[in-house]
Homo-oligomer: A and B are copies of this chain.
Amino acid sequence: MTDANAPLDAVLSHVDANIDQSLERLFTLLRIASISTDPAYAGECHKAAEWLTNELQGLDFDSAVRPTPGHPMVVGHQRSIAGPNVLFYGHYDVQPVDPIELWTSEPFEPKIGEENGRKVILARGASDDKGQLMTFIEACRAYKAVRGSLPVGVTVLLEGEEESGSPSLDGFLKENADELKADIALVCDTDMWDEETPSIITMLRGLMADNVEIQAASRDLHSGMYGNAARNPNQVLAEIIASLRNPDGSVAVEGFYDDVPELPAEVAEQWKRLPFDEKGYLGAVGLSEPAGEKDRSVLEQITSRPTCEINGMWGGYTGDGFKTVIPAKAGAKISFRLVGNQDPHKIRKAFRAHVEARVPADCTVTFHEHGASPASVVPSDGAMLQKALGALTDEWGREAAIAGSGGSIPIVGDFKRKLGMDSLLIGYAQTDDRIHSPNEKYNLESYHKGIRSWVRVLDALSK
C-alpha cells in the first residue's frame, strides 16, 4: 500500500528498515565480475547490464540494455512532465583485480569487514562505482515503495566502459541526445570531503597533455668522441623542463594564469571553516611540504589552481650498468591541469612557444598532442546546487562542502557540451577506499546514508 502524500521521514525510515535487503542487492551486483578492459569478461559486463535493467524495470522504469560497439549501456526512464527531470549517471564496469595476491578476500565475493571501528563493504567495485550507483537506485526504490512514485522525473544512464576510456560514450550521447537531456545531471562517482562531511564537487580541473621530443645529432654518439662539443638532448630537455616552474612554485609559461579566477568568496570562506588535514594528506604519501605556489594552500594547489606536471621523461641509456652515450633524442610527457576559463588550446600554444624559444641551435622539437579538455565549473550560487547542499547538510548534520576535484571527470564536460546540462557531482566515497587497488572498500555508512542522501536530494530538487 503506497501513500502518495507520505512524509519524507517515512521514505527515510523505509530505507533504514530495509537496509539489509539493499545491501543484499548490492552484493548480488558485486558478484558479477564486470571488468571492462579484459575481453574475457565481456559476458560478465553484459550480465551486469541485464541485472541492472531488470532492477530498474522492477521499479517501473522504462528500461533497456542498449547496445554499443563495446559494452552496453543501461538506460531507464521515469520522466515527469511537470519537471524537474534529472539524468543520473553511474558506471557498472570495474577495474581489473591485479595484483590478485594482495587481496585479503576474493574481489568478487563481497563481504563486510571492519576498519578503524567502521564497517566496510569489501569487493572490487564496492566504491567505484557499483556501491555509489546503487545508493541512487535504492533511494528510488524507497520512494516507489512508500509513495508509489518518484518526486522528480528521472533518467538513469549506466555505462559499462568508464574504466576503459569510455570509447562508446561520445557516439551514444550524440545519437540519444534528446532522450537523455534533462534539467541537470547527477553524477555519483566522487568522494566526500571527509568521513563526516558531505560535499558537492563544482570544480573539476581540465587537462592539456603534450608529448615533447628533442632531437640533436642524427644518431647516438659516444661521449668520449663527442662529449662537450655535441649538444646533448638530455641536457636541453632538462633545461626546458626546469624553466617551466618559477622558484616560487608557479608555472612559468607566459600568460598561464590569465584566465585563472580566484575562488568565489563564499567558497573561499567555507574552505577556511572546513577541516582539511594538509599534513595528513601529504603525510599519507611520505611528503610534508607543498611544492606548488607558495601563497596557496594545499587544497587550492590540488583543486582550484592549475599545474604543470612532468609525467614522464626519458633519454639515452636507462638499463643496468652504464653506457657513455650521448643520445640523439630525449623526450617527455608533460601535462597541464587547467582551471576556470583556461583554454586548453591557448595553453598548448603558449607552452609550445615556451619550449620552442628554448631549443638551441642544432636541435629540433616535435610535439604530439594527447588530449585537451577545459575545466568544468558549476556556478556555486545556482539554485539546484543550493537545494542539494541543503539536503546533504540535513542528512549528515554537517555543512555540506562545495569542493573542487584535481582530476577531470570527462562525462561532466560531455554533458555540458553535448547535452547543455550542468552536473552535480555527489558521491559518498572516501579517499581511502582503495579504488583501482587491491581490497577496495566502501564504508557501510556511505552506502546507508548515501541512499538516505539521495532521498533528501531528490525531495529538495522537487521543491
Chain A residues close to B by CB (< 8 Å): 205, 207, 209, 211, 216-219, 221-232, 234-235, 237-239, 241-245, 249, 281-282, 285-293, 298, 301-302, 305-307, 309-318, 321-327, 330-333, 335, 337, 360-362, 370-371, 405-408
A218 engages B286 (CB within 8 Å) = yes
Q: Which of B316, B331, B361 contacts A311 (CB 8 A)?
A: B316
Can you report 18 residue pairs joining A to B where beta carbons are below 8 Å apart?
Answer: A225-B406, A227-B302, A227-B309, A228-B292, A230-B282, A230-B291, A231-B289, A232-B291, A234-B310, A235-B310, A242-B243, A288-B361, A289-B360, A309-B324, A311-B317, A312-B323, A314-B315, A322-B371
Q: How many copies of this chain does one complex carry?
A: 2
Q: Are B362 and A226 closer than 8 Å at their CB atoms?
A: no
Which 4 A-B pairs have CB atoms at the shortest separation, nearest pair first?
Answer: A224-B407, A218-B286, A228-B292, A238-B241
Q: Do residues A337 and B227 form an inter-chain contact, with CB atoms below 8 A?
A: yes
Residues of B within 8 A of A301 (CB): 228-229
A313 and B309 within 8 A (CB): no
Give every chain B residue within 8 A of A314 (Cβ-Cβ): 313-315, 318
Q: Which residue of B lies closest to A337 (CB)?
A: B227
Per the bound structure, the CA–CA distance linking A298 and B370 in Å amounts to 40
Task: For the complex formed, measure the closest distance between the CB of A242 and the CB atoms of chain B, giving whole angstroms.
Answer: 4
- Report yes or no: A229 in contact with B298, Cβ–Cβ below 8 A: yes
Nearest chain B residue, comparing its CB with the CB of A283:
B218
Once A227-B302, A286-B362 are accepted as A-B contacts, the answer to whether A333 and B337 lie under 8 Å apart by CB is no
Can you name the residue of chain B whose Cβ is closest to the Cβ of A330? Answer: B313
* B310 A317 Cβ-Cβ under 8 A: no
Which residue of B217, B298, B326, B362 contacts A309 across the interface (Cβ within 8 Å)? B326
Other A-B pairs beyond A229-B298, A322-B370, 20, CB < 8 Å: A209-B324, A216-B287, A217-B285, A221-B285, A224-B406, A226-B285, A226-B302, A228-B337, A231-B289, A234-B313, A235-B309, A242-B243, A288-B362, A289-B360, A312-B315, A312-B317, A313-B313, A313-B315, A313-B330, A318-B331
When the two chains form their complex, are residues A228 and B330 in contact, meaning their CB atoms are under 8 A apart?
A: no
User: Which residues of B sit under 8 angstroms from A330, Cβ to Cβ?
Assistant: 313
Nearest-CB residue, chain B, relative to A297? B229
Most buried by B among A205, A222, A289: A289
Which interface residue of A241, A285, A314, A325 has the most chain B CB atoms within 10 A?
Answer: A285
Q: Are A316 and B287 touching (Cβ within 8 A)?
A: no
Q: Are B333 and A318 in contact, with the CB atoms below 8 A? A: yes
Most buried by B among A228, A242, A313: A228
**What is the chain B residue whose CB lies nearest that of A407?**
B224
A408 → chain B, closest Cβ, in Å? 7
Instruction: Give CA–CA (A288, B363) in the complex, Å.
Output: 10
Known: A315-B312, A324-B209, A362-B287. A234 touches B241 (CB 8 A): yes
A362: chain B residues at CB < 8 Å are 286-289, 291
Distance (whole angstroms) from the CB of A86 to the closest CB of chain B: 26
In the bound complex, do residue A322 and residue B318 qualify as a contact, i.e. CB atoms below 8 Å apart? no
Chain B residues with CB below 8 A from A310, complex form: 232, 234-235, 238, 315-316
B291 adjacent to A317 (CB under 8 Å): no
Query: Is B286 a contact of A217 with CB atoms below 8 Å?
Result: yes
A302 to B228, Cβ gap below 8 A?
Answer: yes
Q: Which residue of B lies closest to A237 (CB)?
A: B238
Closest CB of chain B to A101's CB: distance in Å?
Answer: 18
User: Taking the nearest CB of chain B, how far is it from the CB of A382, in angstroms?
Assistant: 24
Separation of A443 and B301 alpha carbons in the complex (Å): 65
Chain B min CB distance to A257 (Å): 13
Nearest CB of B to A363, in Å: 9
Selected from B209, B219, B309, B313, the residue in CB contact (under 8 A) with A285 is B219
Could you tell me the distance between the alpha carbons of A406 and B223 in the complex, rounded to whole angstroms? 8
